[in-house]
Homo-oligomer: A and B are copies of this chain.
Amino acid sequence: MTHDAIEVISAKRDRQALTDSQIDWVIDAYTRGDVADEQMSALAMAILLNGMDLREISRWTDAMIASGERMDFSSLSRPTADKHSTGGVGDKITLPLAPLVAACGVAVPQLSGRGLGHTGGTLDKLEAIPGWRAALSNDEMLAQLEDVGAVICAAGDGLAPADKKLYALRDVTGTVEAIPLIASSIMSKKIAEGTGALVLDVKVGTGAFMKDLDRARELAETMVGLGNAAGVHTVALLTDMSTPLGLTAGNAVEVAESVEVLAGGGPADVVELTLALAREMLAGAGVTDVDPADKLADGSAMDAWKAMVRAQGGDPDATLPTARESHVVTAPATGTLTRLDAMAVGLAAWRLGAGRARKEDPVQAGAGVVWHARPGDEVTEGQPLLTLLTDEPERFERALDSLEGGYDVGDAASYTPTDLVLDRIS
């Protein structure tokens, strides 16, 4: 059935539910260029302000999937599971998680994009490893999944091209913040990617896109509904992002921290979240007789990591790039670090050159922030609290500005520990 753009826009503007036929038409026509950007952005704003019900979001997601190719992993000898994080500061979890789950016998086809966030995305982080390349053909990906069990690579242009076009449009029209559009954007790519199970890490807090638990829960419930309706075993964890994860935010520094975790060490929170997500992925893939903690302890997760890096041209034993300049921020008093704000740290890392402002910008592999205490730790006045890293020392000043008011040192009594995993949605 044919429709026209004004009819579809007006229906949503007037708070009507869009029909399946209207949704199929508008996504297809937008992908083909028959619906103009200025029409789609008006529709996106109407969706943002007037909402979509689950039937509409599900159809919208299906239409975006139908705009491109679908991958098929049914030829693999093992089940598949993937993870998606809505993004947070110091969130390097994919790096240890993918080889860990592969070591447990489940294949992880992680197709990633480039980040526009505080640090680069997962691909940018891995590109800090000399020789590593993000682009793989579908055949290379399948072969690596069979041989190594884990792939982290760039999503090809063939997957949900409607989403790619719509995401770029939302980015410049103030329409990113619509839960139906966020949910369908993430899930269209993950469903088209063909994973059998999916775990969503929905971040909540100052350093996350979702600042409050209710909206994060709404997003998680929407995505879990979409995934399960499409036959992907989907679970979401709501996790805290008021404090940055681990002790590093950047690219090379996060790779180094991930390798520590794979070596059986690393910050407790990174280990905790990696294991929680790994258990969900394994359960979703039907593997219940393996404890991923054992695979960290026995070195098999590290072996899978090295194999995964090598398969994509990287040298897992090479020295990682370091920033040319560093600046140390010392503790202002003796006491307990009662707060370290994820947003402040993220902004500092970004201003140091770890992230990009525009799609076409490069990121600095060595730039970032390393902190030497986590909330709850005792610190002594004058000890190093944070180290800022960049190749361009003129960046220190604005990075320091963003850390202003971003941490507190006080009485142990005024520190309240928070749970890392806040809720589970299935």
> How distant is the Cα of A40 from the Cα of B43 in the complex, in angstroms?
12
The one of B9, B10, B49, B172 that contacts A36, using a Cβ cutoff of 8 Å: B172
- Contact A172/B50 with A42-B42, A42-B44, A42-B45 known, Cβ cut-off 8 Å: no
Interface residues in A29-70 by Cβ distance below 8 A to B read 36-46, 48-50
- On whether the beta carbons of A42 and B9 are closer than 8 Å, the reply is no
The verdict on A175 contacting B42 (CB below 8 Å), with A13-B48, A50-B49 known, is: yes
- Cα of A198 to Cα of B46 in the assembled complex, Å: 35
* CA of A180 to CA of B173, assembled, Å: 20
Given A41-B39, A169-B38, the answer on whether A10 and B49 have CB atoms closer than 8 Å is no
Kindly list chain B residues whose C-beta atoms are within 8 Å of the C-beta of A9: 45, 173-175
**Do A39 and B172 form a contact, CB below 8 Å, given A45-B13, A46-B45, A48-B13?**
yes
Which residues of B lie under 8 Å from residue A50 when comparing CB positions? 49
Task: Give this chain's copy count.
Answer: 2
Interface size on A, residues (CB 8 A): 25
Chain B residue at minimum C-beta to C-beta distance from A174: B9
Bound-state CA distance A172–B36 (Å) is: 9
Asked whether any CB of chain B lies closer than 8 Å to the CB of A213, the reply is: no
Complex Cα gap A44–B13 (Å): 11
Quick one: which of A42, A50, A172, A175 has the most chain B CB within 10 A?
A42
Quick one: given A49-B49, A50-B49, are A10 and B42 in contact (CB under 8 Å)?
Answer: no
- Name 20 extra pairs, CB < 8 A, besides A6-B172, A41-B42: A5-B172, A5-B174, A6-B173, A9-B45, A9-B173, A9-B175, A13-B175, A13-B177, A36-B37, A36-B38, A37-B37, A38-B169, A38-B173, A39-B172, A39-B174, A41-B45, A42-B44, A42-B175, A45-B45, A45-B46
Q: List 10 A-B contacts (CB under 8 A).
A: A5-B174, A9-B173, A13-B175, A36-B37, A36-B38, A36-B172, A38-B40, A38-B169, A43-B174, A45-B46
